Structure 1
Amino acid sequence: MSGIAGRTLLVLALGAGLACAIPPADAAPSSDTAEILGEWETKDHDGVFRIMKCGSEICGDLVGLSYTKEVPKDHAGHSECGLRMLTGFTPDQQDAGHWNGHILDPDSGHVYHARIWVSSSGALKLRGFVAVPLFGETETWTRFTGKIGPECRLP
């Protein structure tokens, strides 16, 4: 895998067929849509996503990457800097505060189902899965408060 985002997505995709985890107690969602918007750092602190409104939906771009040589490339050879990887998130009609949409694996070009929400602890939870949420893996992202350099480079 070449990109930081690709490794994150690989973990989510592989977990999709292997894990049967039940969300922890702190996974209770917030009902405030504004809480989900902003910049979020991945669990390994090697990527930052900007989650924003895209019309009536929520979407997210990869805006920060930790790398040493050149900007990581997606499966088509394009820069991952600014890549829209979270798309089509709409409110879940049965789970207030949860949003359902899709997440792109930039290394393969595959798109997976995903669910996002803000937990009671204030962390963003992102669950990627192939068919049903029960068979997936949840990552915990934290608010990003740092600076992003040129070409999406994280310090």
Structure 2
Amino acid sequence: MKQKIIYFFIAILCSFSSYAQKNPDAIVGQWMSEDNNLKVEVYKDGTQFKAKVIWFDDSDDKNKPWNTRLDEKNPKAALRTRKIVGMEVLSGLTYDEDDDEWVDGVIYDSKSGKEWSSKVWINKNHQLKVRGYWLVSLFGETMTFNKV
């Protein structure tokens, strides 16, 4: 009986250690926003992680289908003719193993044409949290995504 209890505790400890293992590539893949209005693909480019738009909800203006919309609010006139679909909206993220999060990124908001600092992490529910902020993380907004 005592031996069964020891094996039980060893199994529990092993399960905790496997959960705690850090995976720099855990954010790679397709993610749908919690509101089901934006789908992005996160990918690795060298040592950095980036994301591009692969779909978004166009119900705000059915005269402009999602796959034809342009980056009209971009402050750089030369970029206003690029399509939003396929556009890189998150760049420069690097994995911080100590904090198990991706930091030092830049996120682009096509609705305003502004760029913000960003960081990303995966919560205990396996959801992707993307925080865009100004100066310090305290002043920002977080979006939640679920793996597709």
User: What's the counterpart of residue 128 of structure 1?
Assistant: 132
Higher strand share: 2
Equivalent residues in 2 for 1:58-97 (5 A)?
A: 58-67=49-58, 68-69=62-63, 70=65, 71-74=68-71, 75=73, 76-92=80-96, 95-97=99-101
User: What's the counterpart of residue 143 of structure 1?
Assistant: 147
User: What's the counterpart of residue 39 of structure 1?
Assistant: 30
C-alpha separation between the residues in 1 aligned to 2:32 and 2:97? 27
Shift of the alpha carbon at 1:121?
0.9
Of the three residues 45, 52, 58, the one matched with 2:43 is: 52
C-alpha separation between the residues in 1 aligned to 2:138 and 2:97? 17
Structure 1 residues 34 and 94: alpha-carbon distance in aligned structure 2, compared to 1, 3 A threshold: closer
Shift of the alpha carbon at 1:93?
6.4
Larger Rg: 2
C-alpha separation between the residues in 2 aligned to 1:42 and 1:64? 11
User: What's the counterpart of residue 116 of structure 2?
Assistant: 112
Gaps of at least 5 residues in structure 2 are 1-19, 74-79
C-alpha separation between the residues in 2 aligned to 1:30 and 1:123? 17
Higher relative contact order (CA closer than 8 Å, sequence separation 6+): 1
User: Could you state the TM-score of these two structures normalised by the residue count of structure 2?
Assistant: 0.70
Shift of the alpha carbon at 1:98?
3.4
User: Could you state the TM-score of these two structures normalised by the residue count of structure 1?
Assistant: 0.67
User: What's the counterpart of residue 7 of structure 1?
Assistant: none
Is the Cα contact below 8 Å between 1:103 and 1:112 reproduced in 2? yes
